[in-house]
Structure 1
Amino acid sequence: MKKVFYNLSQIIELSENDSEFIKLMVATFITEMSSDLDALAVAVLEKDRANVHSYAQKMKPSLELFGLKGHHMALKLETRGESQDEKDIHEDFMYLHRELEETLIQLRRDF
């Protein structure tokens, strides 16, 4: 039995179960999250906290809309990105990265 990482219930409700709209939302999510995840990775590696904050803030609503637990990590990254605290952000990023990569693979397979 495969583990499901995403939950489309909010999108189904929002679209009144319009399958074309749902497919469009999934396709948009896949495209945007792939790009944003790459940009966030670069920001984390370069210790560019302003961009960590910016990309995490941008990603958070979509993560929540798709029912991903990673939106909590995005919130942490957003907060740490705007602070001068030297706490390592790699662990939070790696959790988010793993969940998103697995989710994107699954969405591509399912849609």
Structure 2
Amino acid sequence: MKKVTYNLSKLNEISDNDPDFLRAMVTMFLTEVPKDLEHLAIAVVENDHVNVHRYAHKMKPSLEMFGLRSHNEILILEDWGKNKNTTKDIKNEFMVLHQELENILIQLKRDF
């Protein structure tokens, strides 16, 4: 039995269980998240607060809609991006986020 690490209940609720809407949202997730994740990775490595905030904020609704556990990490990254005076190292939070999203992308490609 495969381990499902996402939850489509919010998407099913807002779409009234419309399979076409669900497929469209999954397709958008599969298209946009890898690009945003790459931009976020670059921003994290460069300690670019503005772009860490920008991409974390952009990705947050998708993580919420797909019921992902890494929602907490994206909030930490988003907050770090707003606070330019912080010395906090966010690489661990990014790595947790990155790993979960890589797994989710694989799972969604298999399932859809």
Give the TM-score normalised by structure 2.
0.96
Could you tell me how far apart the structure 2 residues matched to 1:69 and 1:54 are? 20
Q: Which amino acid aligns with 2:6?
A: Y
* 4+ residue segments displaced more than 6 Å: none
Cα separation, 2, equivalents of 1:70 and 1:61: 12
Once residues 64 and 27 of structure 1 are traced to their aligned partners in structure 2, the CA distance between those partners, rounded to angstroms, is 16
Partner of 1:81: 81
Matched, 1:14 2:14: yes
How far has the Cα of 1:42 moved from its partner? 0.6
CA distance in 2, matches of 1:2, 1:80: 35
Task: Kindly provide the amino acid, as one letter, of the partner of residue 9 in structure 1.
Answer: S
The corresponding residue for 1:63 is: 63
Q: Which whole-Å CA distance do the structure 2 matches of 1:57 and 1:69 have between them?
A: 16
Mark the runs of 5 or more structure 2 residues left unpaired by the alignment: none
Identity of aligned residues (%): 57
In 2: Cα distance, 1:19 partner to 1:61 partner: 20
Matches of 2:81 and 2:54 in 1, distance apart? 8
Structure 1 residues 77-104: Cα deviation after superposition (integer angstroms, max 9, x where no partner): 0001111111101000000000000000
**Equivalence for 2:96:** 95
Q: CA deviation at 1:46?
A: 1.1
User: Residue 2 of structure 1: CA displacement?
Assistant: 2.2
Q: Which residue does 2:108 correspond to in 1?
A: 107
Aligned length: 111
Q: Which whole-Å CA distance do the structure 1 matches of 2:15 and 2:82 have between them?
A: 35
CA distance in 1, matches of 2:2, 2:111: 12
Report the counterpart of residue 46 of structure 1 in structure 2: 46
Cα distance between partner residues in 2 of 1:79 and 1:70: 14
The amino acid that maps onto 1:15 is S
Write the distance in 1 (CA, Å) between the matches of 2:104 and 2:49. Answer: 25
